[in-house]
Structure 1
Amino acid sequence: MKMKCLLVFIPAFCLLIGAFSEKSEKNPCHSTEAQKSCAACIAAHKDCGWCVSPLYEKENRLRCDTYENHARGKCDTDQIQFPIVDTLKVDDADVRDGDTPEEVVQIQPQKVRVSIRPNHPVRIPLIFRQAKNYPVDLYYLMDLSNSMEDDKENLAELGSDIAKKMKTITKNFRLGFGSFVDKVVSPFVSTVPKKLISPCGNCEAPYGFKNQLKLDNETTKFAQQVKAARVSGNLDAPEGGFDAIMQSIACQDEIGWRNISRRMLLFSTDAGFHYAGDGKLGGIVTPNDGECHMENGLYTLSSDLDYPSVGQIVNKIKEKAVSIIFAITEDQFDIYERLSNIIEGSAVGVLANDSSNIVKLIEDNYDEVDSLKCSNGNGTFECGKCTCNPGRYGKFCECKADEVSSTDSIKLCIQPNATVPCSGRGECTCGECICNARSSDPSQTFSGEFCECDDYSCNQFEEQVCGGPIRGICDCGTCLCKPGYNGSACECELSQEKCKTERGIVCNNHGNCSCGKCDCEDGYSGLTCEQCFNCRSCREFEKCVKCFMDEEKGCPSDYYCPEYMKKRKDLNEGLEYQLCRVEDEDECFIEFTIFDNEYGEPELEIKKKATCPKPVNILAIVGGVVAGIVLVGLLLLLVWKLLTYIHDTREFAKFEKERQNAKWDTGENPIYKQATSTFKNPTYGGR
């Protein structure tokens, strides 16, 4: 019977064990890892709870189980560790525009208190809308060394344009102005007392950084302050721009930065910058502390603290959330471009000669960080870039993946037999090249399907590309000349009008018209080959002219001379006059003209004064050579005498020193014997 019972109950017991195992595998709270601790239990699943009752272990119950299983068991609800996910909107103001920073709300809710548990996601709905009239603070930081004086005048005129343009973007706009020169220590500025008062004509005393105008919504003050500010001067080429950037960002209250605003710093200069370590040249060894040190609008520790490092500038800009724009001259573009690559959110642009493109630089920088730039909702602006929606790609999510894929897009931008998209001169956007502007002149851009063309590198004529817009245009490095012109630079005029005489004869039949100019035959010259030197007709009257100029001799009767020959101070000019020139016995040139009178007979006009070469002054040349030889001889003699004197002086000084240092022995010579001998009588004893 026992065996039978065992056979009956053992399978049943196995079935119970199997069912329990199956249930345990489906319940994540029953895993071995979940039973180790309360923390492991809570993290195992969102439905798991931990029973802290000490009676659970005695009853062989699992401490980690679902909340429902614990409630059905003997674990009181107050002894079950079961974190509940909960959200509470602390600040939930509606998104709205505003004319003051306190009214602007762009994200809703603003503050949320969340109770969470591990591995349980919490969804919090957010509403974001870019507010109109969002506060913008623009601080213009300008180099006011003497070389920037012309830019200062232009900036004053552009102040109203800046304010007008920014007010089309936001009515809540404030504008400020600061200037910098350099540390007032040598060798950065001249420390001559006079130069410390005024380093140049009508210049202000040098200073490190000065806040000329605190951020203000009355933008008319900007032009007034810029005009009132005077330039100053320093010695070395780099300026103290880093000092000015650090103080203008760190001094929030002094500059007037608002807590809720878009902060923009426009930095304008025509020179490089000093950075950490350069202060040692002026004896300044204390590192920059990155703090605000301003009183009455001036940087007080300019001569005590070293320049900030690049890293300090980068960290301070990031800490204060300031967008910096470097508006610099073309020769400084490369160094500031490298600096801009390090500073997040910065931009660099070439400053026009009249600073007229400042407004455009500000507008471009403001637009670059607009959330609205992600192709009107086809992506989200996150962490400085657009995160595109599915099916979109590109810098601003402007491309559709169903039209051309991202991989194919790059391939379409690479020219055959090339490896770089857009020839390295543009950006590949949706399979098309958007060509960049040239660094030397931002108003000029590259062109072509692959940006392979440079429409500004053609040959020049009279310092203009392709001779200027009247003559031709540059197309991918080749001049396309307009009708009436040809040549590699459109320098050649096809019209022959400039080659014709008043009678309409081309080059007087003594030359060919090429590119609008006469190419005259030998012996002829002039714009229309109207002049002829030493032509056959000139040689015909050479003898007559020579004898006519020599009034004492006169002309022999066998000479064929015109009846009319007259001396004139200045010869007449014109198409009917043939200009001639003959050389006489004194190697002087006699100029005369031949023309036909009304009867068709030749007449001569002879210039009264012949053109003679200036005689050589032999006496002066000989005298100069002799004087030069004498002077060189005297100079060599003086040099020899000077070298001899120096040598003798040194030898004499050496002798004197040796004589003074000599030590003579005052003892007697042991082999010396006097001439007389003295003997004493030992028995005499002096008696």
Structure 2
Amino acid sequence: MYHNIPPLLLLLLVISVDCQSASTLKCTDVAIQSLCIDQEACDQCLQAHPCCNWCYDQNYDGRQCNVLENLSACPETKLELNTENKVEIPEFGNQPFTDGSAKEIIQLRPQFLNVYLAKDIPQNFTFTYKPAKNYPLDLYYLGDLSASMMAHLSVFKTIGADLPNNLTQLTENYKLAYGSFLDKVAMPFYLMAPDTYNNPCSVFSSEECETGYLFKHWLGFTKDTDTFIKKIINSKITANLDDLDGALDAILQILVCDKKIGWSKNSRKIILLPTDSLLHSAGDGILAGAVLKPNRTCLLDDEGNHMSPLTYDYPSFAQIHALLNEKKVNIIFAVKTQRKLEYYKSLTTELFKDSGFVGELEEDATNILELINKGYYNFVRQVKFFINTTSSENLDVKFFGDCDRLGIFNETSACYNVENEPVDFTVQLTLKGPPTKLSDVFYVEERNINERITLNITYTGHCSCDNYDGEELECLNGDFRCGKCMCQEEWTGKLCEENCDSKDFSSCKSSSDGYICNRNGDCICGKCSCNPPFNGQYCQYRCPTSKDGQVCSGPAQGKCIEDKCECINDFEYEDCSCSKSKSRCKLFEEMEFCSGNGNCVCNQCRCNAGFSGQFCESNKENNTLCEEYIKVIEDAILSGTNTAYKGTTKISIQEVNEDKRKSLCNDTECETVIYQGNSRCTIKCCYLKQDGDVHWLTTKSCVLTAGFAALTSGIVALALVLLAGAFFIACAKYRIYRLEQEEYRKFQNESGTLHEMNPIYKDPVSTYRNPMREKND
């Protein structure tokens, strides 16, 4: 709808439309006038409606809060005028775009805005982002010098002449730096025997290599490509024991040692990491005695060596992710083997999506220049903006981007197809509660470049009454402000001298024969305090209420004027219950509204037949969100972290009991199984969306795995068999012992009757008689 309109003209158009809508308010409407005169305090008056103004002249007899037309009797110098929403761009805050050759590079326009913001009235402004040609590039080459990466050192001998030409195609303003890493020099990561300590390559090669180290920063940022190449070529390889390296420790130091490393203030910052190893992370360092949690202290000495490699544990992935975002640094993973390539792809997809890029490094590493090009353009073509509003809880911010440059603005803060053409974004600011201070300063920032737009916000609705020169009344039971005593509860009168116990209810009747507050409220201090949903001076009006009984669905969605709701903050319908927003119709930014299986109506999904769930994500066969998120949840639980990322969406993970999970999530439930140690754990989880973040509530129940249970049963059975065998052997021994005792007693008994001759002696002479001789005889 704004196609082919210049950015500045578009900005002025947006501002003029907003101002025109404020200036053409129908302040003469009776309903608005009635709303104004009901206000008793200056701040409340200005915040009630843009048409309401306050007279703080002590001699003014009329209603101090009123529309401007009815305050003609009030001196102009004694008026606290309501300020309309508007945006002003000072001349110095709208400098033209520049390229990389300029002293001050400008890619955002405008650079400074004055915003006047009233409560509950959205204010829009538009800015333009245009990538600068030859924008400075700081490329830090972080070398993996393990023995298996020897080829990537030698390849620099052949690409030395091509590197400058390749980088010049990206930008003419580039600088290079170099550092290398291995691992913590301690068991179980490194062999500590004297011969292998000094030459860790001796285990598998006759070649001599350098003693191990955790991280060395060899060369600060320089434009001298030859010096950079020589530093890499002259590096010596080293080796460690396991297949995991200390790259995260090296990245941590590169990020926190700004002065030693020499990062430029305004540049695109990229770390190039060629590797064929996996990554040690938080908790692994305990094996080597490194137990302290790493902090943001720079631990590099003057020669670039890591001074405390065995003091601090490895950093966590979450810590590195947060630092990459804070320092606005990107990282290119150039990975050698296919199996490890999948590991880094998963890591980048789940955690480093906005700050990381993964490419496959060929065996001879000759495609390193190609990977630099791909990673660079991957980061350049994506842009994402944000405003940090943690200091103001009442300020709501929404971004709308024209990523396709068609004049159609969709609600998004990021574009992923940026070329050399300018891209327009519109920001909508809404103050959802009473301002707590007079002004504030915020910044529109981009994720990867160190440029920002300054927003100097002035909140309207604060009364200063600077020109008040009348007598300050001595308020007996209240405070004097803007020409009037602001009384404490239960007190009224000009000086707050009258107690509200007075029984005069005439001011609470609309006529002499009318009821007090029309029986719809109580008369307190001569003024009707209406029961919801009634309103008006005499509680004579009744506005529509929402299902939960709130008038006009609550003050954040609408105001009751007479007997009609005036909707605010993109709400509509008679009771202001229908939101025009679609934020609750998808769980994360990259997701389709209602999963593509329904329509978003009043910020709620109405699902097509066969689909159900808050986001129409479920059918009879599966739940698409469970399939989308369950791997992220599993990895987070296994790594012991309670925060993860899905794309640009932050995921908070909290373990709760089953009753709480069911009470909060109803039927939005997923289930998975993980293995931790010797346990098989069933994870039941559900998801909620709150404040733009995704919250997963999990319940875990674990049992011993079948293998572990079988092993335990086998050990117990073996122990029982051994015990039984020992018992039977003992019984057999005891039986033999008893038999031997019996034989010994028998021997002792027989030994008393023996003669001198051995009782077992047998005479060798045998005598035989001839029977025939005996017969003749």
- In the superposition, the TM-score normalised over structure 1's length comes to 0.49
Which protein, 1 or 2, shows the higher relative CO under an 8 Å CA cutoff with sep ≥ 6? 2
TM-score, with normalisation over the residues of structure 2? 0.44
Larger Rg: 1
* Higher share of residues assigned strand: 2
